[in-house]
Amino acid sequence: MSIYQELYIDGLNTFLRHFSANPAVSLNGQYCGGVTGFLKFIETIIKKYSPENVIVCWEGGGSYRRRSIDKNYKNGKRPIKLNRLNEDIPDTTENRDYQLSLLIKILNEFPIKQIYLDDCEADDIISFLCNENKNKKKLIISSDKDYYQLIDVNTHVHSLNRKIIIDENFVIETFGVSPTNFCLARCIVGDQSDGLKGVKGVAFKTLNKIYPELSQLNSIQLDDIINESKNKINLGLNIKAHQSIIDSKSDIEKNWKLMYLTSSNLAYFQIKKIREQLEVNKKSINKLNVLKLMNTHGINFYDIQETFLVFTFDMESN
């Protein structure tokens, strides 16, 4: 029986973790750890959770909508780590693209759906899928905390960093805010990794003290926060932090436009493309094509038969 009916994988986020750490080399002399690591991971995760449906969502070159709001969006993000195990590896960018292309071809032969949209980020696609399947049990695979805002009773996140399931209680206990209000809290605190400026001197710890209501499951609006700040200032309470939040209202509003995940972020033609890609229904594995790809690229040392078995018994049985 499935623990989660839907499994949504942040494709590039997951691939890069294996690409940068797995030293596997093919019989053709190509580094292939991103491919074999991803395949082994997906085998493990399916064996553990027995999902009915697996969808890999890929980055489509970033979001034009977000770049139009802030040209510096994600400028602060650390550069992609190429294979850090050997600094003498040549053409690592070329190898990364080679492995990505091969992985997508291999996954195409499995009963997995892959979604890719130009000028669209994986989190927008996954947000759309969560909204479309509100009543289904869903698990998002990623190390990106942006997805925490999507968490609810039916939606959890498998954190690639922490290697644990993130649910509502974890978010409240760790950050002092509920998933419902997590995006607003991050808009105030800021996100250095995405180059988003927060309110100076206001971190989650400060926010927990001056706005404990953010830990509640009901949605708090920015205007509620601003009005509360004005009231606290009038009472002479923590004037500096409250005044800083009031003064930073425009920055917080811009952060919201960049960080809030909603289906309305997608254009009609993008939603249409998602639906078209979801309609591709592969019920079985094309084992012959997978073996041909693995052999051609010198990855026949990898035990793909175990992956076949997991998909056959854990996926097709559903």
How many of the other CB atoms lie within 10 Å of CB of 301? 13
Q: What are the structure tokens assigned to 76, written together?
A: 């602060």
> Tokens standing for 51?
């999902």
In order of 100, 181, 191, 259, 285, the CA distances from 33 in angstroms are 11, 38, 30, 32, 22
Looking at every residue in the chain, the average pLDDT score rounds to: 88
CATH number at 91 reads 3.40.50.1010
How many residues are listed for the chain in this entry? 318
Q: Which helix (H) or strand (E) holds 14?
A: helix 11-19
Task: Examine residue 38 and state whether it is found in any structural domain, yes or no.
Answer: yes
105 part of a folded domain: yes
pTM of the model: 0.89
Query: How far apart are the C-alpha atoms of 170 and 232, rounded to whole Å?
Result: 29
The tens digit of pLDDT for each residue in 171-227 reads: 999 999 999 999 999 999 998 777 778 899 899 999 999 999 999 989 999 999 999
> What integer pLDDT is reported at residue 78 of this predicted model?
46
Percent of residues in the chain assigned helix, strand, coil, to nearest 5: 55, 10, 35
Strand (E) positions, the chain?
6-10, 53-58, 113-116, 138-142, 155-159, 164-166
| 3-class SS of residue 210 | helix
Residues 75 and 60 in one domain: yes
17/165 same-domain check: yes
Q: Which of 259, 277, 295 is the last residue of a domain?
A: 259
- pLDDT band of residue 84 (cuts 50, 70, 90) is very low
User: What are the CA-CA distances from residue 19 to residues 6, 26, 31, 131 (Å)?
Assistant: 25, 13, 9, 31
Query: What is d(CA 11, CA 83) in angstroms, rounded to the nearest whole number?
Result: 18
Same domain, 15 and 160: yes
Q: Is there a single domain that holds both residue 165 and residue 191? A: no
- CA pair distance 3, 29, nearest whole angstrom: 40
CATH, residue 248: 1.10.150
Comparing 264 with 318, the larger pLDDT belongs to 264
Cβ burial of 295 (10 Å; 0-12, 13-18, 19+) is: exposed
DSSP 93-149: HHHHHHHHHHHHHHHTTTT-EEEE-TT--HHHHHHHHHHHTTTS-EEEEES-GGGGG
Confidence of residue 76 (pLDDT cuts 50, 70, 90): very low
Do 10 and 149 share a domain, yes or no?
Answer: yes
pLDDT tens digits, residue range 5-24? 999 999 999 999 999 889 99
Provide the domain limits for residue 192: 174-259
Q: What is the dihedral of CA 25, 30, 34, 37, to 10 degrees?
A: -30
Judgement on whether residues 238 and 291 belong to the same structural domain of the protein: no
* Position 1 in a domain: no
Looking at residue 77, its amino acid is K
Residue 252 sits in the same domain as residue 198: yes
Q: Residue 245 half-sphere exposure, CB side, CA atoms within 13 Å?
A: 28
Kindly state the DSSP code that residue 218 receives in the 8-state scheme. S
Domain boundary (214, 229, 259) is at 259
Q: Residues 97, 161: one domain?
A: yes
**Amino acid, res. 199:** V
